[in-house]
Chain A
Amino acid sequence: MAEHRLRIDPAGTPRATIVIVPPLFEEANRTRRTLVLAMRALVANGFAALLPDLPGQNESLVPLVEVDLDRWQDALAEVIAGNDGPAIIASVRGGTLIDHKAKAAAWWRLAPVGGASLLRTLMRARVSADREAGVRSSLEDLQAAARSEALLLAGNALSPAMIAGLGAAEAQPVAPLRSIGIGADGIAGTPLWLRAEPGEDAAMARAIAADIAAWSKSCGIS
Chain B
Amino acid sequence: MGAGIEGLCPFHAKERKLTDSSSIDATLRALLADVLGLGEDRAAALTDDSGLFGELPEFDSMAVATVLTEMEDRLGIIIDDDEVDGEIFETYGNLLAFSLRKVTS
On A, residues with C-beta under 8 Å from B are: 26, 117, 120-125, 127-129, 132, 138-140, 154, 190-191, 194-197, 199
Q: Is the CB of B81 within 8 A of A196?
A: no
| Cα of A132 to Cα of B54 in the assembled complex, Å | 12
Q: Is the interface of A mostly helix, strand, loop or mixed?
A: helix
User: Could you write out 14 A-B pairs with CB less than 8 Å apart?
Assistant: A117-B72, A117-B73, A120-B72, A121-B66, A124-B65, A125-B61, A128-B65, A154-B65, A190-B33, A196-B37, A196-B59, A196-B60, A196-B62, A196-B66
A140 to B82 CA separation, bound complex (whole angstroms): 11
For B64, list chain A residues within 8 Å (CB).
Answer: 124-125, 128
B103 CB–A CB distance under 8 Å: no
Contact with A along B65-103 (1 / 0, CB 8 A): 110111011000000011000000000000000000000
Q: Is the CB of A154 within 8 A of B62?
A: yes
Name the distance in Å between B102's Cβ and chain A's nearest Cβ.
Answer: 16
> Do A199 and B37 form a contact, CB below 8 Å, given A138-B81, A139-B81, A140-B81?
yes
- How far is A70 from B37 in the complex, measured between Cα atoms in Å? 34
- Give, as a whole number of angstroms, the nearest-CB distance from B20 to chain A: 21
| Count, chain B residues at interface, CB 8 A | 21
The 7 A-B pairs at the shortest CB distance, nearest first, are namely A124-B65, A128-B61, A125-B65, A196-B63, A196-B58, A121-B69, A138-B81
Closest Cβ of chain A to B23, distance in Å, is 16
Q: How far is the CA of A124 from the CA of B62 in the complex (A)?
A: 8
Are B34 and A195 in contact, with the CB atoms below 8 A? yes
Q: Check B24 for interface membership: any CB of A closer than 8 A.
A: no
A-chain residues with CB within 8 Å of residue B62 when the two chains form the complex: 26, 125, 128, 154, 196
Residues of B within 8 A of A123 (CB): 65
User: Beyond A139-B81, A140-B81, A196-B35, is A132–B70 a contact (Cβ under 8 Å)?
Assistant: no
What's the nearest-Cβ distance from chain B to residue A23, in Å? Answer: 13
**What 1/0 flags go to B30-43 for Cβ under 8 Å of A?**
00011111000000
In the complex, which of the residues A117, A128, A194, A196 has the most CB atoms of chain B within 10 Å of its own CB atom?
A: A196
